[in-house]
Amino acid sequence: MPTRSFGFLVEDVPPGTVCLAGIFDDPDSVPVSGFIWIHWCFANLREHGMKENASHTGGDFVQGTNSWHSALDDFSRKEATGYGGPCPPDSEHEYRFRVFALSSLLDIEDGFYLNELLKKIRGKVLAHASAYAGYSPRV
């Protein structure tokens, strides 16, 4: 599993933003795995971005469990907390990165599941943005 997370910077964060939450996933994985593959989710990021590899080196944010902890793979929940990068098995996939500006910190801990994050951000999203990028398997 690739573990070096990408860096990013969010501009024009709205006033009142206390922290950011983010989701990096692969909707094109549905025909292969049967579900949208979660590569990374994080919350309570008080800065407006992250440096490359922050998932591994740590920081002032919490990270959720990715799909490497699923019926398809044997990673423990702890091993699969953080960034698990793209590894498309069949063809180029289009990956989606969503960032949410939140009005308050979330009561959530490392190892959370995506469904927990989605419930916790309800009513707290001031703005959101998405970016898409393609990635092909190495041959």
CA distance 16 to 6: 26
Average confidence (pLDDT) over 46-61: 93
pLDDT digits over 71-122, tens only?
Answer: 556 666 566 678 888 888 888 899 999 999 999 999 999 999 999 999 999 9
| 3-class state of residue 57 by DSSP | helix
Residue 128 has pLDDT above 70, yes or no: yes
Half-sphere exposure of residue 71: CA atoms within 13 angstroms, side-chain side: 3
Residue of higher predicted confidence among 3 and 117: 117
pLDDT digits over 13-40, tens only?
Answer: 999 999 999 999 999 999 988 999 999 9
Residue 68 has pLDDT above 90, yes or no: no
**Pairing state between β 69-70 and 73-74:** antiparallel
Diameter of the chain measured on Cα atoms: 46
How confident is the model at residue 90, as a pLDDT? 84
Domains of the chain by range and CATH?
Answer: 8-135 (3.90.280.10)
How confident is the model at residue 23, as a pLDDT? 98
